[in-house]
Amino acid sequence: MTSEITTHSGLMVNPLDLRTSDILIEDICWHLSNQCRFSGAVEEFYSVGQHSVLCSIIVQDPAVKFDALMHDASEAYLQDVARPLKEDEYFGRAYRGAEVRAQKLISAVFDLRWPIPDEVKEVDMRICATERRDLMPFSKPGTWSPEWEVLVPYDLTIKAWTPRRTRREFMLRFDRLR
């Protein structure tokens, strides 16, 4: 049994032991554009890649816009995992360790700030409230943890993009910010 996955570019990589040579922006872009947020519990497909682009647009500080675009890049290799699993005492500890190792390496490859800047974390949480409002209308108040219930959505409406559009927007933003 192998511990490697095949990336879109055809590389065989071990997501738990990534190397600098494993990290390609084309793979990150492709994989994130094809991963659905909220474990797929949205009215229509909405990708981690689009979420990343929107975070990058919303962040006010121009110096951290690139960090915002890349803040979930480790999920290209590890997958987007539901928050309750990430916070689990056992599974969560292992996943968070792998996520930190991967994100640190990606940060070094693309010269990103580490740890992720606070403004990016704040936008990431608040965009979540916006995504919930626009993409999960069936999600009832009081069903999320208290710290998430108080988040105020942004004054914008999110319309889901196709994976193809997400790849185009992600790479345009990457090229502009890099």
50-99 pLDDT tens trace: 999 999 999 999 999 999 999 999 999 999 999 889 999 999 999 999 99
Of the pLDDT bands very low, low, confident and very high (cuts 50, 70, 90), residue 149 is confident
SS (H, E, C) the chain: CCCCEECCCCCEECCCCCCHHHCCHHHHHHHHHCCECHHHCCCCCCEHHHHHHHHHHHCCCHHHHHHHHCCCCCHHHHCCCCHHHHCCCCHHHHHHHHHHHHHHHHHHHHCCCCCCCHHHHHHHHHHHHHHHHHHCCCCCCCCCCHHHHCCCCCCCCCCCCCHHHHHHHHHHHHHHHC
Mean pLDDT of the region 121-143: 91
